[in-house]
Amino acid sequence: MHALFKFLNSNFGLLLSGAVISGLIAQFITSRWQQRSWIFQQQYTAEKATFDREMDQKYKLVEDINAAVAAVIAHSRFALAAYVKSVPAEQLSQQISNYNDAVLKWEADFGLYSIRLRTLFQNEETLKQWESIKARRDDLDVAITN
Protein backbone atom coordinates (compact mmCIF):
# COMPACT_ATOMS: atom_id res chain seq x y z
CA MET A 1 0.00 0.00 0.00
CA HIS A 2 2.90 2.28 0.85
CA ALA A 3 4.32 1.72 -2.66
CA LEU A 4 1.02 2.79 -4.19
CA PHE A 5 0.96 6.04 -2.20
CA LYS A 6 4.56 6.69 -3.13
CA PHE A 7 3.76 6.14 -6.80
CA LEU A 8 0.67 8.42 -6.65
CA ASN A 9 2.74 11.16 -4.98
CA SER A 10 5.37 11.02 -7.70
CA ASN A 11 5.21 13.42 -10.65
CA PHE A 12 4.23 10.66 -13.03
CA GLY A 13 1.60 9.31 -10.63
CA LEU A 14 0.07 12.76 -10.18
CA LEU A 15 0.06 13.24 -13.93
CA LEU A 16 -1.55 9.85 -14.50
CA SER A 17 -4.19 10.23 -11.76
CA GLY A 18 -4.95 13.79 -12.92
CA ALA A 19 -5.42 12.57 -16.48
CA VAL A 20 -7.74 9.75 -15.37
CA ILE A 21 -9.83 12.03 -13.14
CA SER A 22 -10.04 14.86 -15.69
CA GLY A 23 -10.81 12.33 -18.43
CA LEU A 24 -13.72 10.94 -16.42
CA ILE A 25 -15.04 14.39 -15.49
CA ALA A 26 -14.67 15.72 -19.03
CA GLN A 27 -16.39 12.60 -20.40
CA PHE A 28 -19.26 12.99 -17.92
CA ILE A 29 -19.70 16.71 -18.65
CA THR A 30 -19.50 16.19 -22.40
CA SER A 31 -21.96 13.31 -22.25
CA ARG A 32 -24.48 15.40 -20.29
CA TRP A 33 -24.04 18.35 -22.64
CA GLN A 34 -24.57 16.17 -25.71
CA GLN A 35 -27.63 14.56 -24.16
CA ARG A 36 -29.19 17.97 -23.38
CA SER A 37 -28.29 19.20 -26.85
CA TRP A 38 -29.92 16.15 -28.44
CA ILE A 39 -33.08 16.57 -26.33
CA PHE A 40 -33.25 20.25 -27.27
CA GLN A 41 -32.77 19.39 -30.94
CA GLN A 42 -35.56 16.79 -30.79
CA GLN A 43 -37.92 19.27 -29.12
CA TYR A 44 -37.07 21.93 -31.68
CA THR A 45 -37.61 19.52 -34.56
CA ALA A 46 -40.99 18.41 -33.18
CA GLU A 47 -42.12 22.01 -32.58
CA LYS A 48 -40.97 23.06 -36.05
CA ALA A 49 -42.80 20.14 -37.67
CA THR A 50 -45.98 21.08 -35.76
CA PHE A 51 -45.59 24.73 -36.75
CA ASP A 52 -44.96 23.84 -40.41
CA ARG A 53 -47.99 21.54 -40.48
CA GLU A 54 -50.17 24.25 -38.94
CA MET A 55 -48.89 26.85 -41.42
CA ASP A 56 -49.61 24.48 -44.32
CA GLN A 57 -53.16 23.96 -43.05
CA LYS A 58 -53.69 27.71 -42.70
CA TYR A 59 -52.27 28.38 -46.14
CA LYS A 60 -54.49 25.72 -47.72
CA LEU A 61 -57.56 27.10 -45.95
CA VAL A 62 -56.83 30.62 -47.16
CA GLU A 63 -56.29 29.30 -50.69
CA ASP A 64 -59.60 27.42 -50.57
CA ILE A 65 -61.45 30.49 -49.28
CA ASN A 66 -59.86 32.69 -51.95
CA ALA A 67 -60.93 30.24 -54.65
CA ALA A 68 -64.50 30.12 -53.31
CA VAL A 69 -64.79 33.91 -53.10
CA ALA A 70 -63.21 34.35 -56.54
CA ALA A 71 -65.66 31.86 -58.07
CA VAL A 72 -68.69 33.70 -56.71
CA ILE A 73 -67.33 37.09 -57.77
CA ALA A 74 -66.42 35.84 -61.25
CA HIS A 75 -69.85 34.30 -61.81
CA SER A 76 -71.54 37.46 -60.54
CA ARG A 77 -69.52 39.51 -63.03
CA PHE A 78 -70.45 37.16 -65.87
CA ALA A 79 -74.14 37.37 -64.95
CA LEU A 80 -74.04 41.17 -64.67
CA ALA A 81 -72.12 41.52 -67.92
CA ALA A 82 -74.64 39.31 -69.69
CA TYR A 83 -77.49 41.42 -68.32
CA VAL A 84 -75.84 44.75 -69.21
CA LYS A 85 -75.01 43.54 -72.73
CA SER A 86 -78.60 42.33 -73.20
CA VAL A 87 -77.51 38.90 -74.36
CA PRO A 88 -80.19 36.46 -75.51
CA ALA A 89 -82.42 35.12 -72.75
CA GLU A 90 -80.99 31.61 -72.99
CA GLN A 91 -77.42 32.83 -72.51
CA LEU A 92 -78.46 35.13 -69.65
CA SER A 93 -80.32 32.25 -68.04
CA GLN A 94 -77.21 30.08 -68.29
CA GLN A 95 -75.04 32.77 -66.66
CA ILE A 96 -77.56 33.22 -63.86
CA SER A 97 -77.73 29.45 -63.40
CA ASN A 98 -73.91 29.30 -63.18
CA TYR A 99 -73.99 32.12 -60.62
CA ASN A 100 -76.65 30.32 -58.59
CA ASP A 101 -74.57 27.13 -58.62
CA ALA A 102 -71.54 29.10 -57.38
CA VAL A 103 -73.65 30.68 -54.63
CA LEU A 104 -75.03 27.28 -53.56
CA LYS A 105 -71.49 25.89 -53.38
CA TRP A 106 -70.41 28.98 -51.41
CA GLU A 107 -73.28 28.56 -48.94
CA ALA A 108 -72.54 24.86 -48.52
CA ASP A 109 -68.83 25.47 -47.96
CA PHE A 110 -69.27 28.54 -45.74
CA GLY A 111 -70.00 26.51 -42.60
CA LEU A 112 -67.03 24.24 -43.17
CA TYR A 113 -64.74 27.21 -43.75
CA SER A 114 -66.08 28.83 -40.57
CA ILE A 115 -65.25 25.75 -38.51
CA ARG A 116 -61.78 25.48 -40.01
CA LEU A 117 -61.14 29.20 -39.42
CA ARG A 118 -62.21 28.93 -35.79
CA THR A 119 -59.92 25.94 -35.35
CA LEU A 120 -56.83 27.34 -37.05
CA PHE A 121 -57.19 31.07 -36.33
CA GLN A 122 -58.24 31.64 -32.77
CA ASN A 123 -58.23 35.43 -32.82
CA GLU A 124 -61.44 37.40 -33.00
CA GLU A 125 -60.22 39.76 -35.73
CA THR A 126 -59.94 36.94 -38.27
CA LEU A 127 -63.43 35.72 -37.44
CA LYS A 128 -64.82 39.26 -37.74
CA GLN A 129 -63.19 39.61 -41.16
CA TRP A 130 -64.72 36.30 -42.20
CA GLU A 131 -68.18 37.46 -41.13
CA SER A 132 -67.58 40.69 -43.05
CA ILE A 133 -66.76 38.70 -46.19
CA LYS A 134 -69.97 36.72 -45.72
CA ALA A 135 -72.04 39.91 -45.25
CA ARG A 136 -70.56 41.50 -48.35
CA ARG A 137 -71.16 38.34 -50.37
CA ASP A 138 -74.78 38.37 -49.19
CA ASP A 139 -75.06 42.05 -50.18
CA LEU A 140 -73.72 41.14 -53.62
CA ASP A 141 -76.38 38.46 -53.96
CA VAL A 142 -79.13 40.92 -53.02
CA ALA A 143 -77.78 43.50 -55.49
CA ILE A 144 -77.67 40.98 -58.33
CA THR A 145 -81.12 39.52 -57.76
CA ASN A 146 -82.82 42.93 -57.53
Domain tally, the chain: 1
Report how far residue 125's alpha carbon sits from residue 79's, in angstroms, rounded to the nearest whole number.
Answer: 32
- Give the DSSP letter of residue 85: T
Domain extent, residue 20, equals 2-145
Q: Structure pTM?
A: 0.66
Residue type, 76: S
List the Cα angle 65/66/72 in 5-degree steps: 90
Q: Over the stretch 18-72, which tens digit does the pLDDT of each residue have?
A: 878 888 888 888 889 999 999 999 999 999 999 999 999 999 999 999 998 899 8
Q: Over the stretch 94-140, which tens digit does the pLDDT of each residue have?
A: 988 998 899 899 888 988 999 999 888 888 898 899 889 889 888 88
Report how far residue 138's alpha carbon sits from residue 131's, in angstroms, rounded to the nearest whole number.
Answer: 10
Report how far residue 104's alpha carbon sits from residue 72's, in angstroms, rounded to the nearest whole number.
Answer: 10
